[in-house]
Amino acid sequence: MKILLLADLNSPHTQKWASALSDAGLHIGIFTLSEVDNSLWNGREGITVYNPVSFSRKRISGNSYSKLLYLKARKQLRRVVKEFKPDVVHAHYATSYGLLGALSGFHPLVISVWGSDVMDFPSRSFLHRMLLRYNFKKADLLLGTSLVITDCIARLTSKSTEVIPFGIDTNVFTQGQERIVFEGSDLVVGTVKSLEKIYGIDILLRAFRLVSLRHPDKPFKLLIVGEGTMEAEYKELASHLGIDSKTVFTGRMPYEKIPFYFQNIDVFANLSRNESFGVSVLEAEACGKPVVVTSVGGLKEVILPGVTGIAVPSDNPEQAANAIESLLLDDKFRAEMGRRGRELVKEKFAMEVCLSRMIAHYKALVS
């Protein structure tokens, strides 16, 4: 079976899907408009990359007029379709590559919705909603990564939507405890998120300060992995709160190193103000870490409250601190939650589970 993915090849999610599908024996083509290092993919058996028009990430993700770039790429895509001869075209992200897929005229067309493409984009204007409705009308199958996303899709189309989460490689995200940042005796609260307001890093900093003040004798540390527009402001806040000596900001890390940072965390915290799913929470759970999350969006779907993690209200440093404190102070509680979290991921969110469901959908479309 030949599947042509329309997607940003710089995205780790695209890379994981392409590799997993290829490893499963499917011939994968990837049509991407992003600036990519094709040397990483050229010559890889089972995967063919088409990058006929390369635009910078800033141009592609800029304003609404950036959608015109996808209109310009329509002819190149049609040529690729003729050359590759796919059985299925699968567009990842509904408002960009989904538009390109809709304009291609190819069937069967699958569109995967990732999050902001239905949670933010349609609220901008009537025209934005019409564009999404057009894309969905052209699709033969709609996929969402969470129930929250499928609810958003249902507001724009009467078509049913299947849920297939981003799969987690539990052989990569696995248990381990070799310290690469802190001392072995330290107890580390950590997060792996973009440093943007929506992800509540400021709430985490304030919660960690409360925990530190309550237990000044404990070797508590805070690890923040990621980059973003709020990085300087968050570092200044850490200094203002008096926790800068206990806090490490790593900046952006290569994706292949991320599992090691999860393994150096004792309690993982995701205190987002809103989120469509929660991949980083699942990655932490796969590494055997208990999690503290806010009760918003798709985060409610990736934990079992009281079993694999603790859910707290959004924008509430006090309750977040209470949850983090309860885990830091109880080794057995922490270990048991971590064990249950890994079991949850392996059962419901492992890559092989999600991959099997994806391939079954492809087969149903071409049968």
For position 67, what pLDDT does the model report?
59
The verdict on 231 and 360 lying in the same domain is no
b/e map 149-162, b = 16+ CB within 10 Å: bbebbeebeeeebe
pLDDT tens by residue, 77-129 = 999 999 999 999 999 999 889 999 999 999 999 999 998 888 888 888 898 89
For residue 303, what is the domain's CATH number? Answer: 3.40.50.2000
Claim to verify: residue 158 and residue 11 sit in the same structural domain: yes
End-to-end CA distance of the chain: 11
Answer yes or no: do 151 and 278 share one domain.
no
CA neighbours within 13 Å on the CB side: how many for 122? 21
CA-derived radius of gyration, the chain:
21
Inter-residue contact 341 to 268 (CB < 8 Å): no
Give yes or no: residues 194 and 210 share one domain: yes
Q: How confident is the model at residue 135 (pLDDT cuts 50, 70, 90)?
A: very high
Mean pLDDT of 146-158: 93
Residue located via tokens 């949670």? 119
pLDDT recorded at residue 349:
96
Q: With bands split at pLDDT 50, 70 and 90, how would you rate the model's confidence at 331?
A: very high
Indicate the number of domains in the chain.
Answer: 2
How far apart, in whole angstroms, are the C-alpha atoms of residue 27 and residue 123? 37
Is residue 177 within 8 A of residue 187, CB to CB? The reply is: no
pLDDT band at 47 (very low <50, low <70, confident <90, very high): very high
Residue range 260-276: average pLDDT?
94
Among the residue ranges 164-168, 189-193, 266-270, the one predicted with the least confidence is 164-168
Dist CA 319 CA 325 (whole Å): 10
Q: How many CB atoms lie within 10 A of CB 72?
A: 11
Alpha-carbon span 347 to 318, nearest angstrom: 33
Q: List the one residue out of 132, 115, 121 whose CA is nearest residue 194.
A: 115
Shared-domain flag, residues 28 and 109: yes
Give the mean model confidence (pLDDT) for residues 224-231. 96
Residue at 176 is within a domain: no
Residue 72 is predicted with a pLDDT of: 78
What is residue 276's predicted lDDT score, i.e. its pLDDT?
85
CA–CA dist 29, 14 (Å, integer): 12
| 342 and 357 both lie in a single domain | no
Same structural domain, 196 and 71: no
Average pLDDT over residues 277-291: 95
- Is position 178 within any domain? no
Average pLDDT, the chain: 91
Pair (216, 322) in one structural domain? yes
Give the residue numbers spanning the domain of 308. Answer: 187-349
- Let me know whether 137 and 12 are in one domain: yes
210 located within any domain: yes
- Does 254 reside within a domain? yes
pLDDT given for residue 58 in this prediction: 47
- CB atoms inside a 10 Å sphere around CB 13: 17
pLDDT at 59: 45
Can you give the pLDDT at residue 326? Answer: 97
Residue 328 is encoded by which pair of tokens? 């830091």
Q: Which one, of 192, 352, 169, lies nearest residue 280 by Cα?
A: 192
3-state DSSP assignment of residue 306: coil
- Domain shared by 197 and 145, yes or no: no
Least confident segment among 51-60, 97-106, 237-246: 51-60
Both tokens of 348, joined, read 């419901």
Are 42 and 52 in a shared domain?
yes
| Pairing label, strands 267-270, 187-192 | parallel
Per-residue pLDDT averaged across 325-343, rounded? 97
How much is the pLDDT for 55? Answer: 55
d(CA 296, CA 312): 9
- d(CA 344, CA 240) in angstroms, rounded, equals 39
Is 175 part of any domain?
no
Q: How far apart are CA 194 and CA 252, in angstroms?
A: 9
Is 40's pLDDT higher than 60? yes
User: Which residues lie across from 88 on neighbouring strands?
Assistant: 3
- Asked if 92 contacts 112 with a C-beta cutoff of 8 angstroms, the reply is yes
pLDDT band of residue 62 (cuts 50, 70, 90) is: very low
Strand order in the sheet with 2-6: 47-50, 27-31, 2-6, 88-92, 109-113, 141-144, 161-163
| Domain membership flag for residue 181 | no
Q: Is residue 319 situated within a structural domain?
A: yes
pLDDT surpassing 80 at residue 71:
no
223 and 315 in a common domain? yes
Separation CA 30–CA 19 (nearest Å): 11
The answer as to whether 172 is a domain residue is: no
